């Protein structure tokens, strides 16, 4: 059945049927939540043994000889740098460790740009028409940082292989454009993996602003669902090869490897950027928690340890995403009223509706007991002019909850689409 070919009568009959079913479901008083990209308890339990690595009998000396319990070490201990370098597939010399949140590193860098300026350039505070590029749909907390600091946010369309690079290349000719938010692998929320060509076009950008920076948030770099490790080109090396070594800040953390909010984070970038970052970090901190770094480094040992661990995450996540795709495929695939990205890693996928329907669908789902991320939340200032996409976050719920929730999403999508088609 293709909804677009149905007569008004047929649509009304379909509406009647779906409404009844939704009514019955609503009476069950469900409370389901697919709104947040939180790991499930089962995933948190995967890292339980890490907590036994540090105890009262531990040798607290890092490889550098430093007692990890005491002061010292602005940029982190060597074994933690090496671990995060492996995770990002970069050289450890390019790495500075952060605290429990890579988001804080991003905030600090934008804040640094505001008050001191990036690498000696004019502080962004004084660039009154400052702008930042935001691939949409994207991560609301990225956009919020730059909005907070008074940037005009410019939406860039997301294609199936990454941001629309023609558009990026056009905008960076403007010197007031100071950066772009990127999640290169399993992008939040589309699940898109940037193609090699897109990565290389990023590395070869020639922005008008010397202090333009790519904020390359590689949050899901080892978060593959398949047995295959999906590799994208190392942006640090690519930028260096392209003669643009200072163009990029890469970020990663163990928030979704071990514990959200109690992991370790890191930034990888060029030597000149590292010097610039330390120039303000030395005032901002006495250095990140080295005991937590030591615990992570000793637990995982090397990239083999990370990969083995991430396979366990994959075995929990894959069936949840597949359950969602199965229902969507069964309920919606022929109707021509919705499409969805099929992420094979990360934490999210995107559900694309007919224009103007997303907000209504999210509201209807909420009334039926299922919470999704507010429609538009993945767009700058929460506003999607097409009102046509919904972020789906299956990680925290159980498989059976996901099945119920996505079935309700399908029903509500049918109903909202019928109304849309009837008005058309």
Say whether 364 sits in a helix, a strand or coil: helix
Q: How far apart are CA 157 and CA 141, in angstroms?
A: 18
Q: Could you tell me the smallest distance in angstroms from the CB atom of residue 6 to a copy of itself?
A: 43
CA distance 178 to 171: 10
Please state the closest distance from residue 41 (CB atom) to a copy of itself, in A: 7
> How big is the chain by its Cα radius of gyration, in Å?
23
Cβ–Cβ under 8 Å, residues 376 and 294: no
Q: Does 171 bind a copy of itself (CB under 8 A)?
A: no
- Check binding of 382 to a copy of itself (CB under 8 A): no
Would you state the structure tokens that stand for residue 334, as one six-digit string?
Answer: 């022929």
For residue 25, how many other CB atoms are within 10 A of its CB? 17
Residue 301 CB, nearest approach to a copy of itself (Å): 18
Question: Minimal distance in Å, beta carbon 393 to a copy of itself?
Answer: 12
* Residue 128 sits in the site that holds a copy of itself (CB under 8 A): no
| Residue 46 within binding range of a copy of itself, rule CB under 8 A | no
**Residue selected from 15, 21, 33, 149 as contacting a copy of itself according to rule CB under 8 A:** 149
Among 6-14, 46-54, 304-312, 410-418, the segment contacting a copy of itself (CB under 8 A)? 46-54
Instruction: Decide: 185 and 346 in contact? Cβ < 8 Å.
Output: yes
Smallest gap from residue 97 Cβ to a copy of itself (A): 12
With contacts defined by CB under 8 A, name the span among 4-12, 16-24, 153-161, 284-292 that binds a copy of itself. Answer: 284-292
Find the distance separating the first CA and the last CA of the chain, reported in whole Å. 19
Q: Is 289 in the site for a copy of itself (CB under 8 A)?
A: yes
- Which C-beta is closer to a copy of itself: that of 26 or that of 104? 104
Q: In angstroms, what is the minimal distance from the CB of 141 to a copy of itself?
A: 8
Binding flag, residue 76, a copy of itself (CB under 8 A): no
Residue 159 has, within 13 A of its CA and on its CB side, a CA count of: 12
Residue the block writes with tokens 């514990």: 259
Q: State the Cα–Cα distance between residues 180 and 167, nearest whole angstrom.
A: 12
Interacting residue with a copy of itself among 4, 8, 12, 48 (CB under 8 A): 48
Q: In the chain, what are the helix, strand and coil shares in percent, each to the nearest 5?
A: 45, 15, 40
Q: In this structure, what is the dihedral angle of CA atoms 20, 25, 26, 32, given to the nearest 10 degrees?
A: -150
Q: Is 288 in the site for a copy of itself (CB under 8 A)?
A: yes
Residue from the set 19, 26, 111, 336 that interacts with a copy of itself by CB under 8 A: 111
Tell me if 36 contacts a copy of itself by CB under 8 A. yes
What's the rounded Cα separation, in Å, for the pair 18 and 196? 44
| CB distance 257 to 105 below 8 Å | no
Interacting positions 86-105 with a copy of itself (CB under 8 A)? 99-101, 103-104
Residue 242 binds to a copy of itself (criterion: CB under 8 A):
no
Residue selected from 31, 59, 70, 424 as contacting a copy of itself according to rule CB under 8 A: 70
Which strand (E) or helix (H) includes residue 413? helix 399-423
151, 106 contact by CB (below 8 A):
no
The yes or no reply on residue 144 touching a copy of itself (CB under 8 A) is yes
Query: Under the criterion CB under 8 A, does residue 39 sit at the interface with a copy of itself?
Result: yes
Alpha helices in 65-195 (DSSP H): 78-88, 102-115, 140-148, 165-171
CB of 214 to a copy of itself, least distance (A): 20
Binding residues vs a copy of itself (CB under 8 A): 36, 38-39, 41, 44, 47-49, 51-52, 54-56, 58, 60, 67-73, 99-101, 103-104, 107-108, 111, 114-116, 123, 125, 141, 144-145, 148-149, 255, 259-262, 280, 283-292
């Amino acid at each position: 059945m293709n909804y677009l070919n149905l007569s008004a009568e047929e649509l009304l009959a379909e509406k009647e049927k779906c409404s009844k079913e939704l009514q019955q479901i609503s009476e069950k008083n469900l409370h389901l939540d697919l709104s947040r990209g939180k790991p499930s308890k089962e995933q948190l339990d995967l890292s339980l043994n890490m907590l036994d690595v540090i105890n009262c009998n531990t040798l607290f000396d890092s490889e550098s000889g430093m007692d990890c319990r005491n002061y010292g070490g602005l940029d982190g201990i060597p074994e933690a740098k090496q671990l995060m370098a492996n995770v990002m597939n970069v050289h450890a010399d390019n790495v500075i460790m952060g605290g429990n949140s890579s988001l804080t590193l991003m905030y600090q860098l934008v804040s640094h740009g505001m008050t001191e300026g990036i690498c000696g350039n004019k502080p962004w505070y004084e660039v009154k028409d400052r702008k930042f590029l935001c691939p949409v749909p994207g991560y609301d907390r990225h956009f919020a940082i730059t909005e907070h600091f008074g940037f005009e946010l410019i939406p860039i369309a997301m294609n199936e292989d990454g941001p629309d690079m023609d558009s990026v290349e056009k905008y960076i000719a403007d010197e007031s454009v100071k950066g772009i938010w990127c999640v290169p692998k399993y992008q939040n929320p589309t699940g898109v993996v940037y193609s090699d060509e897109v990565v290389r076009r990023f590395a070869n950008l020639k922005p008008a602003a010397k202090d333009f920076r790519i904020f390359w948030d590689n949050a899901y770099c080892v978060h593959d669902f398949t047995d295959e490790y999906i590799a994208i080109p190392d942006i640090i090396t690519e930028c260096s090869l392209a003669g643009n070594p200072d163009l990029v800040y890469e970020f990663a953390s163990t928030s979704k490897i071990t514990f959200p909010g109690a992991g370790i984070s890191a930034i990888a970038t060029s030597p000149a950027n590292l010097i610039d970052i330390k120039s303000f970090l030395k005032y901002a901190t006495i250095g990140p928690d080295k005991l937590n770094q030591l615990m992570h480094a000793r637990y995982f040992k090397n990239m083999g340890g990370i990969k083995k661990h991430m396979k366990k995450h994959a075995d929990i996540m894959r069936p949840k995403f597949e359950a969602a795709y199965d229902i969507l495929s069964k309920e919606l695939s022929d109707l021509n009223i919705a499409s969805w990205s099929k992420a094979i890693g990360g934490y999210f996928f995107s559900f694309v509706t007919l224009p103007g329907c997303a907000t209504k669908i999210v509201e209807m789902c909420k009334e039926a007991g299922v919470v999704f991320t507010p429609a538009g939340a993945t767009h700058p200032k929460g506003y999607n002019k097409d009102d046509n996409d919904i972020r789906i976050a299956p990680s925290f719920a159980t498989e059976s909850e996901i099945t119920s929730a996505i079935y309700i999403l399908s029903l509500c999508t049918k109903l909202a689409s019928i109304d849309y088609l009837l008005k058309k």
